[in-house]
A and B are shown apart, each in its own frame.
Chain A
Amino acid sequence: MSPLDALLRAVRRRARWADAAYGLVRFGLPSALLIASAGVVALRLGVAPPEILWCTLLPLPALLGWAWLRPRPLRTLARRVDAHYGLHDRLGAALEFRTRRPASPDPRTDALVDLITAEADARARTLDPRPVVRVHLPGPHRIDAVALLVLAAAVVVPQRRAARLEAQLERPEFVTRRDKVQVDLALAEPLRRNLAELRGQEDVAARTAEAILELLERLERGELDRAAAYAALEDLERALAEAEAEPERREEDPATLQEAIERLAATLEQHEITAEAGSALAQGRESDSEAAWDDAAAAAEADAAAERQLERALGDAERSLGQSAGQSSDTSRQLGEAERRLRQAERTPSQESPEERERRLKQLQRRVEELKRQAEREEAARRRLEELRRNAEQAAKERQNRRGAVEKLSRGASEASRRARGAQRLRQARDGLEEAKTVVRRAGAPKDGDTRRRQQYARFREAASGADKPKSERGKPTLLIESELGDGPPMGEPQPGDDAGQGDGGEASDDALASDEPGGQDEGNDASPGADGSLPGRGDEAGDGQTDPLGDPRSKGVRLRDVHVQAKAGRGVSRAEVIRESSQRGFATEAYRDVYTSYRAFAQSAMDNETLPAAQRRAVKRYYQLIAPRL
């Protein structure tokens, strides 16, 4: 490699690094910030997993690849070196002559080419490539600030589920009524009890329950009307549906897990050493269960009898989990049946209309899809149980590191329990929400029988519990069903079964709904135009409210103003002066420009005309210059 080539390759390497540094700072940084912003927003909206943030690094390989692969011909680099050192393209010419010698009959040309290449090599040995390409980092740019601001804005974007839940659960935007008509919520007592049981934890179900309870209380106090309450419940329902739709809740069937955990807890309770862990697991105290497992493992390490007891417990746990994992549900049978019915419906021609047939087929297909998903979830749950079983088996066999194996088992069981319980609580919250909607729909205005119904309900509850029921009253009805319980018009979209509630409660409900209408209609009609005095005055009261200082010209009270103009004595300007002034100002108007544009072609042809004497062309040019529009 010649010294010139070596120099140019060194320059090329530096150019790559310089490009990479520049690109990373100028483009990579803001790009990464913007991508990160998008990722953060996606995360907070819950539409992407956390791994999306790895995309922030995407500009790095892209820019490095660009810097490395960007074409940099040696000829161009040689020109750059020449320009930097003021060599008048000596190196570039030498590089070019090396690959292509100019053909010339004069031998001195060859001699000069040899001289040029030799001189270039000699110079290349003494030249430093570093000053040619300086690796410098660009300063901050406006786009960097913008990207930072975007990222900051993305960070403060509220998390969709949490924020909406909090907003809707803790401080719902209820419409407050002015007339405060109280509604009868006697039937909501069992719902309230169920919801109260859901409270006390930090999860979606608890927050939903608290929100429903607060909503019912405010409805009962008359701070809300039923329409607003129903709308708030629908908002809650959407938030709850989002929570239910989270992928981790849809992966495994909670019922299968719950059943297996209950069975495992019962098995563990049978052994003294794991009784506490089993009890805690059964009651949903997962952390207590893990602690109890740890205590049991520690005891087993300390005492041989306890160790044997623990081994037996673990063996039973393994069998219990194995049974649960191997147990098949009815889903596969239902799925087979649904698929068979779908095939049959598709094959068999029917008398029904095509639309109806299509609807029925779609219904069947939905059912099949639903069962397939359920089967997949159950299979996923069984896989988890099988993993737990292996953990239990390993813990039973492991002697050296049993404590670790037990810990693994307890953590797995706790996780399964948490998932199952969470899904169960969500189901309970969903049930409570549906029931609350029904209650709100069917709640009427409080009547005289309200207190009586409460007493009846209390008595029914006692009777249902069987505690205070005298033997003589057994077999008799304990609750009087009254027709007023379902009164009120249907709210929201009509649903089957609500018709039974329509009756004498219509009046109260109509009032309630009517009160939501804007009450300013009458007030608006009363307000006549100009009643507030905003219109201008008329007639003899000249000037009041007028913008014209002379008043209304149609009235007699107009204030006149004389204007005297002093004219200049003399002949005035001549026509020539007018033309001269205009020529100084310029005649250019849009219309003249148009004329001139069309005239230009004629002028050009006149100039091209060979019959025009050459000496006269300039005069013609001058003429056209003079008549050209002034800017």
Chain B
Amino acid sequence: MNAATPVDTQRELQAMQSDLERMVREVQHVIVGQDEVIRGVLTCMLAGGHGLLEGVPGLGKTLLIRSLAQAVDLEFARIQFTPDLMPADIVGTSVLVQGDPSAGGASSLEYQPGPIFANIILADEINRATPKTQSALLEAMAEGTVTAAGATRPLPRPFLVLATQNPLEMEGTYPLPEAQLDRFLFKIQVEFPAEDELMAILDRTTGQAHGDVQPTLDAARIEQMQRLVRAIPVTESLTRYVVRILRATHPEDARAPELVRRYVRFGGSPRGAQAMLLAARVRACLDGRMTPSLDDVRAATFPALRHRVLLNFEGEAEGISVDRCLAQVLEAVSAD
């Protein structure tokens, strides 16, 4: 609460917008295109949530997250998820440490923190690990703490998990359980780059010059921004619109469209509504606006709900996409 006057608040908002723009520009030194993905990851960071990036291999998911971590000057850790990865490999483990012989030489167990004790965690190919290992992230993502060796330890702030998964290779994978999916604020689809973007990627990656990312923000600034985002006022009608959208993803709701009624098993959880509203606030901030609009909510609906809406068997078998259901929900629901 550094500023309380309108002028100061406006100045703070403008400063935040310019800082974020600068950071995005730094990331774009390395990443070509993928504006929506960058925006989505930023949204996760400013909203204090976690992101799940889904895309085929080679689209720069890992590079994007690494570049983002460099741009914000935060501690970054990458965990490559494999089927033999164990929970202790993530959260850390107690190791036997030989005591000082001069002092009696008694050995003791000492906790060695795992790679999760970083600000930004890249959980690469998260669906390759077993559900047991995946679940090791649950507490960290939800509570921001890790319980290991009989003690609960807080994780550094800000804490952001960015997971990736490949939608094509399903052999030997373990789809994320619904409970863990719900922990992700956004599920971001990484699309294949357009022709011009692909040209630029080739230019940058096959020549001599390599992009360099300079840090522009630090942890304290990001936390400031996270607080400012939550101070953005939201109208009641917008909140109601979010609630209506969420309810309409449930097949038993009166506003639910035909696709939802037929193919959806469970609609979005309340976390989905929280994600939509927070994401709408972040979008407004990114655009330098003081309050979110209906368009912000609509834009946030897909990444916030696509992993929370569960299709029934018929929907899966018919190849219905959740995005299609959500598009129909947006058509069916109107604001006051």
Contact = CB atoms under 8 A, between A and B. Distances in A.
Contact of B313 (A88, A100, A600): A600
Given A102-B233, A614-B177, A108 B313 contact: no
Given A106-B1, A106-B230, A114-B6, A96 B236 contact: yes
B293 A88 contact: yes
Contacts of A108: 1, 3-4, 9, 12, 228, 231
A529 interface: no
Interface stretch (B51-59, B167-175, B204-212): B167-175
Contact of A115 (B9, B175, B234, B284): B9
A625 B231 contact: no
Contacts of A174: none
Interface string B276-291: 0000000010010111
B316 A97 contact: no
A93 interface: yes
Nearest to A622: B170
A11 to B, nearest CB: 17
B291 A112 contact: yes
Interface string A88-127: 1110110011001010101111111111101100000000
Given A89-B294, A96-B236, A97-B235, A111 B316 contact: no
A270 B294 CA distance: 97
B6 A115 contact: yes
B291 A106 contact: no
B291 A116 contact: yes
Given A109-B233, A113-B233, A614 B174 contact: yes
Contacts of B291: 89-90, 93, 97, 112, 116
A627 to B, nearest CB: 9
B215 to A, nearest CB: 26
A589 interface: no
Interface in B16-44: none
Contact of A109 (B231, B236, B238): B231
A618 interface: yes
B237 interface: yes
A624 interface: yes
B174 A615 contact: yes
A88 B283 CA distance: 12
Interface in A580-617: 600, 603-604, 607, 614-615, 617
B231 A104 contact: yes
Given A111-B9, A114-B6, A618 B175 contact: yes
Nearest to B235: A96
A408 interface: no
B233 A107 contact: no
Interface in B249-301: 284, 287, 289-291, 293-296
A171 B109 CA distance: 124
A75 B237 contact: yes
A88 B289 contact: yes
B1 A604 contact: no
Interface in A41-90: 75-76, 79, 82, 88-90
B232 interface: yes
A89 B293 contact: yes
Contacts of A82: 293
Contacts of A93: 233, 235, 238, 291, 293
Contacts of B4: 107-108, 110-111
Q: Is the interface of A mostly helix, strand, loop or mixed?
A: helix
B131 A97 contact: no
Contacts of B189: none
B233 A628 contact: no
A621 B316 contact: yes
A618 B131 CA distance: 14
B191 interface: no
A40 B175 CA distance: 74
Nearest to B177: A614
Interface centre among B8, B175, B296 (most CB of A within 10 A): B175
Q: With a 10 A CB-CB cut-off, give which of B173, B235, B295, B296 has the most chain A CB atoms.
A: B235
Interface string B221-242: 0000001101111111110000
B10 interface: yes
Contact of B336 (A75, A109, A625): A75
Contacts of A112: 6, 9, 13, 231-233, 290-291
B312 to A, nearest CB: 7
A106 B230 CA distance: 9
A607 B177 CA distance: 13
A100 B312 CA distance: 41
A602 to B, nearest CB: 10
Given A96-B235, A102-B234, A614 B170 contact: no
A106 B224 CA distance: 13
B46 to A, nearest CB: 15
A388 to B, nearest CB: 72
Contacts of B202: none
Nearest to A107: B4
A614 B235 CA distance: 41
B313 A624 contact: yes
B177 to A, nearest CB: 6
Contacts of B203: none
Contacts of B230: 106
Contacts of B131: 614-615
Interface string A459-477: 0000000000000000000
B317 interface: yes
B1 A116 contact: no
A615 B134 CA distance: 13
Contacts of B317: 621, 624-625, 628
Q: Could you say which of B4, B228, B234, B316 has the most chain A C-beta atoms within 10 Å of its C-beta?
A: B316
A571 B312 CA distance: 46
Contacts of B231: 104, 106, 108-109, 112
Interface string A2-13: 000000000000
Interface string A502-534: 000000000000000000000000000000000
A604 B313 contact: yes
A80 to B, nearest CB: 12
B5 interface: yes
Interface in A364-412: none
Given A600-B313, A607-B313, A106 B227 contact: yes
A111 B5 contact: yes
12 contacts: A88-B289, A88-B293, A102-B233, A106-B1, A106-B227, A108-B4, A112-B9, A112-B231, A115-B9, A115-B290, A116-B291, A614-B131
Given A102-B234, A115-B10, A116-B233, 15 more contacts: A88-B295, A88-B296, A89-B235, A90-B289, A96-B236, A104-B231, A104-B233, A106-B231, A108-B9, A109-B232, A115-B9, A615-B173, A615-B174, A615-B175, A625-B316
3 smallest A-B Cβ distances: which pairs? A89-B293, A107-B4, A88-B293
Interface of A: 75-76, 79, 82, 88-90, 92-93, 96-97, 100, 102, 104, 106-116, 118-119, 600, 603-604, 607, 614-615, 617-618, 621, 624-625, 628
